[in-house]
Amino acid sequence: MKKAEIQNITKIFVSKDDRKSEVLALDNISFDLAEGDFVSILGPSGCGKTTLLRIIAGLEKQTSGNIIINGKISNEPGPKKGMVFQEYSLFPWKNVIDNVSFGLKMQGMKKEDAYKKASKYIEMVGLGEFKYSYPNELSGGMKQRVAIARALANEPDIILMDEPFGALDAQTRNKLQNELLNIWKNQKLTVVFVTHSVDEAVYLSDKIIVLSARPGKIVKEIPITIPKPRTRTGNEENEIRDEVLRLLNHEKYLADASQLSGE
């Protein structure tokens, strides 16, 4: 069953200066997500990965195409789309439980009910003893757990994650990857995950979508059927990693050649 359909998404940025120049950022992007899919998006820097994620979230308007969720057009932001950013984006003046319950209270849920629901997800990410702590009292990894709990608390149809572990050290990153997989499995989440890390994508994903250099187009969709949890250096994992790296290196070569030619 299709959970979401990304249909023919094209994005053109138009300059507001006198030249009125246009930049084609994304070119006719289409892919489907089944219920419970974990899909990672990889591509060279500047290929439009984050722009595509923001369009799916409804935070950026596409030039053409549609986002379909549960069979309905969903081009606007809303609580049923959970977004996790790299920079945590927590309210520094609110403690953990107030950060996590913020969206619930904005939807009209009573404070007591919002706290009860928020506490469930705070416990789920392993921060039960820190729910009255403030962001400046937390490590980077703990802050990202709060951001994940906040996204989960709204019980969204789809979770969108923009390099959520990119700023963390390797050990913390690996730990949070495993925690995310446990939550994904237990909550039956549908996830779109943007990353620069091929290793991370191979470890987490059911499918990897490789984008070309700008304008971003789908070069290849690579399904991964290796059972989870996976080893990070297994033979099958290494074969997929090599394939993704070959595609990315080819796209980087094309991008560099285009810049040198002045195109």
Q: What is the pLDDT of residue 78?
A: 85
Average pLDDT, rounded, for the chain:
91
Residue 255 burial (CB count, 10 A): 17
* Beta partners for residue 11, in sequence order: 26
CATH number of 2-80+158-260: 3.40.50.300
Q: What is the pLDDT of residue 181?
A: 95
Q: For the chain, what are the domain ranges?
A: 2-80+158-260, 90-155
Is the whole-model pTM more than 0.85? yes
Question: For the purposes of burial, counting CB atoms within 10 Å of the CB of 108, is it exposed (0-12), middle (13-18) or buried (19 or more)?
Answer: exposed
Residue 128 burial (CB count, 10 A): 12
CA distances to 62, 135, 190, 230, 246 from 206, in Å: 26, 33, 11, 12, 19
Residues of the chain predicted below pLDDT 70: 1, 17-20, 253-263
56-104: per-residue pLDDT in tens?
A: 999 999 999 999 999 999 999 888 899 998 887 899 999 999 999 999 9
Q: What is the pLDDT of residue 17?
A: 67
Q: What is the pLDDT of residue 166?
A: 87
| Helix (H), strand (E) at residue 116 | helix 111-124
Question: For the purposes of burial, counting CB atoms within 10 Å of the CB of 26, is it exposed (0-12), middle (13-18) or buried (19 or more)?
Answer: buried
